[in-house]
Structure 1
């Protein structure tokens, strides 16, 4: 993009608009969709990649290339492009193949079946979640010499605000899960039962409903104490989760009542 003061100011305005849109977004999936729909206003780039680092060191990535979206998992490398970007050892290169040859890196195709050209310019910055470097935000181009220091500045700013938006979306999703989950058993609570039941009844698929309670449960609480009763209820929750069919759900309606 042009680097005149006017162009840079216009670009900052576009970045602010994107940041505002990300903050308003409620779910993690929607954050990514919003990013992909608008990133072309900030960068001249046909490829956007968000890679999240998993506990085993592998990468779970979401890529937009052209009009296609790819979701895959890549095995960890001791010293690859993503690892270098995560630790700040690589920010951008406008000659990806020359860089890989110089540093003896093995380049991996994200989609070996794709007929699209290879990336010649590559830029990536860390994505910070909850104070930790949790992933990499990368943009790529089919042409050499595509990126500048200004592009890097904007990508850093975008990554910072993307991390905040993802954290907010994850928190909202966790709050929603907590509001629909029985804390003792891990099953859906009564609110989840009503919500999912109404949705199931409005569909056309046949369904089966089983409602049950624990016989003699009051005696357990009276003679062994409420901690023992809680242990029984938690174990029933585990049994319902482990024996339910894949399309089935278990709920604790309250007390010793389950569905």
Structure 2
């Protein structure tokens, strides 16, 4: 067998294995940076050994140029890939680590470039047919330093990862990687030592380097194929379970807690060992005060798309918490497991209640008189217009207090305000179902009174509502202030068909009372007022 055939069998043909492994690694999971870096490592080894074949079998006259400008960069790229791969396998992905990896790639290549610029290829490489290494001591020292130090650096990174990881599967994988790297380092060290002592020739050393590296790459590919260096989804979901912001319980079909995350433990005030001390479904209550435990079997059997409920969580002496509760059966679980998810919305519900209360207050202020609490003019108009639109018969009673200015001037405005509150209280207390009382001005009040034209006297109904004003004087500091008023009544739709007309007719009737002595009621009827 000639030298070319030997080179083909020992270098070129196995190089196809590097090519196949690089392509298959990339195709297996090109989304994984680990797979891409491992594939690049195999490609750089492929090109390194192809360079060896080319300079030995095809272009021996360019041996020094091929070694220095092709093989050496490929070898340095390979060991840089090795460190990068170790960093990724160790799970180090911080910004500082990424900057560190960039310099791992640049340092050996820049060192090689500086040597080439400073000394030139003739000084760094002297081709020999056989014998000791053709590399100058400086070049050989550079190669040995970076190959040895980078392999040891990769070993150190993996060793730290092995010491810090808590997962047995990952420890086993890291041990195998460490064993492979240490074996490769030892093999390279032995071959380099034999070469430097001239016990083996350069071509024999290349063959030995190649065989050792090939065995290491095969074991590396098997490891990557076996573990795939993808995130362990079991570990990932365990991490998500532990760090979830919501309380998650794993229950059996009877509602007993089998597992819960830290958020659930904190919610219930339990330690990890205290999961059996509480039956969580008996602490959750619907709006009707029935516990989840009462409806547990019903909900498990019920086929419904509604899986969320708002419930109350009551735990020992803790404040009652608002929760969104979801229940989900785990399909295919042999023991019939159920996931119970609790999301604390106590603060949201408190905010919602505050908003509802604020809205209620704003609506109350928008439609009520701030002094008396009766409906204001806008609210009275809205109610009256609604009745008019519906064609509902009603009477509008316009009430004006007599001598109110005298009360203010004599006793002061604070007493005058209390006097108005007294009137409003009497109107509300003696109003009948369907009546709408409001204050539309300083001392003017309105009462919308439903009527039945076939059965009742408008005057009598108005009198029955306003009579309590006359017989209940205002008392303060043992002083009695009698209540006197003038009231005018208009009817929809006898007197007018709109609110403006009704107010005008009631106002005319009310002033008719004032002109005739005050403290009475007048009903507008065809333009004629009838006095009480």
TM-score grouping bracket, smaller chain normalisation: 0.3 to 0.5
Q: Which has the higher helix share?
A: 2
Q: TM-score, normalised by structure 1?
A: 0.46
Q: TM-score, normalised by structure 2?
A: 0.24
Q: Which has the higher strand share?
A: 1
Between 1 and 2, higher relative CO (CA 8 Å, sep ≥ 6) is seen in 1
